């Protein structure tokens, strides 16, 4: 993490370790993973339990997410129905290109996947919706940063750790800045095995009313079947879907972005 954390930050940092593949944690394991001593971790977990964000299994004594998370998710979707609006375009995109499609929203240190649509084919990329997507290592992260509000870009960059997930990961601020400039000129981002080997991501920003990125939509593709022609076709479909979702949210993407999409579709 790029900055020292206060008590609230440390508590929410603990929540970030609960995933679909690791839904329950013992105290010692969670404290070790979070870089905290057991006493601190237990104190934070007890506070989260009191708020309903975490609960403890009475038999196994492991910790898991609590029902307050569901309540907040329902409130968020009721007041800002992003997932419901994005679902139909994402489903159409997955059917059109035959690849896994995922939609993400930004958090402080990474993107959070809020929707995954898988194609009806045997060989496809699996996207874990509970796994944070690093800004510097994924197509979704690059697409968001390239079109983010300047203050959000600066904030996100301050937390990027530039950890190399594969040999293809961007590992410096200079390289990242140069890549973002290229993405702005071309409307979409491509990451070739930079987060997971044998996976190519193609992503585009979803815009808000101010003309800046508020989310992303991406295709997660198997590298073994990618060709330059297929990349262009998928990029055209992804940017078109980003336009559709933006408009469903009541926003109009920048004219330069729409023109780039039209150039891809031509």
pLDDT tens-digit profile of 32-71?
Answer: 999 999 999 999 999 999 999 999 999 999 999 998 888 8
State the average pLDDT for the chain.
92
Dig out the tokens for 197 from the structure: 């080997």
Distance CA 223, CA 266 (A): 24
- Does residue 138 or residue 17 have the better pLDDT? 138
DSSP string, 94-133: HHHHTSEEEEEEE-SSEEEEEEEE--SSSS-----TTS-E
Q: Cα–Cα distances in Å, from 65 out to 24, 33, 129, 131? A: 8, 17, 15, 15
pTM: 0.77
Looking from the CA of 35 toward its CB, the CA atoms found within 13 Å total: 5
Distance CA 182, CA 166 (A): 21
Distance CA 41, CA 61 (A): 14
Dig out the tokens for 71 from the structure: 């309540």
CATH of range 7-70; options 1.10.1740.10, 1.10.1330.10, 1.25.40.10, 1.10.10.10 = 1.10.10.10
Distance CA 239, CA 205 (A): 8
Nearest residue to 115 via CA among 101, 134, 126, 125: 101
Give the length of the chain. 266
Q: How confident is the model at residue 82 (pLDDT cuts 50, 70, 90)?
A: confident
Distance CA 35, CA 7 (A): 14
Three-state SS for 36? coil
Q: Is residue 139 within a helix (H) or strand (E), and if so which, with residue range?
A: helix 139-146
Which residues, 6+ apart, have CB-to-CB distance to 100 below 8 Å? 94, 116, 117, 118, 119, 124, 125, 126, 127, 219, 220, 221
Ranges in the chain annotated CATH 3.30.450.40: 80-265
Give the lowest-confidence range in 18-22, 55-59, 135-139: 18-22
Mean pLDDT of 156-180: 94
Whether the per-residue pLDDT at 4 is higher than 70: the answer is: no
State the CATH class of domain 80-265.
alpha beta
Distance CA 131, CA 185 (A): 29
Whether the per-residue pLDDT at 206 is higher than 80: the answer is: yes
Dihedral-angle region of residue 35 (phi above 0 means left; psi in -120 to 50 means alpha; beta otherwise)? left
């Amino acid at each position: 993490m790029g900055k020292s954390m206060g008590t609230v930050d440390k508590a929410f940092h603990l929540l970030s370790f609960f995933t679909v593949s690791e839904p329950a944690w013992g105290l010692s394991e969670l404290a070790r993973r979070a870089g905290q001593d057991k006493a601190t971790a237990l104190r934070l977990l007890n506070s989260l339990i009191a708020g309903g964000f975490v609960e403890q299994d009475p038999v196994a004594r492991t910790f898991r997410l609590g029902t307050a998370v569901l309540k907040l998710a329902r409130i968020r979707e009721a007041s800002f129905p992003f997932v419901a609006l994005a679902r139909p375009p994402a489903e159409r995109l997955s059917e059109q290109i035959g690849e896994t499609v995922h939609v993400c929203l930004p958090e402080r240190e990474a993107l959070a996947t809020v929707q995954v649509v898988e194609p009806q084919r045997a060989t496809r990329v699996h996207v874990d919706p509970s796994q944070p997507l690093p800004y510097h290592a994924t197509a979704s992260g690059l697409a968001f940063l390239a079109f983010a509000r300047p203050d959000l870009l600066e904030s996100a960059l301050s937390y990027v750790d530039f950890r190399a997930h594969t040999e293809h990961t961007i590992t410096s601020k200079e390289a990242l800045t140069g890549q973002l400039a290229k993405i702005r000129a071309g409307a979409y981002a491509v990451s070739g095995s930079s987060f997971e080997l044998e996976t190519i991501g193609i992503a585009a920003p979803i815009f808000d009313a101010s003309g800046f990125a508020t989310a992303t939509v991406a295709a997660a593709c198997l590298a073994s079947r990618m060709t330059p022609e297929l990349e262009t076709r998928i990029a055209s479909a992804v940017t078109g879907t980003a336009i559709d979702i933006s408009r469903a949210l009541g926003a109009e993407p920048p004219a330069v972005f729409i023109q780039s999409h039209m150039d891809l579709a031509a």
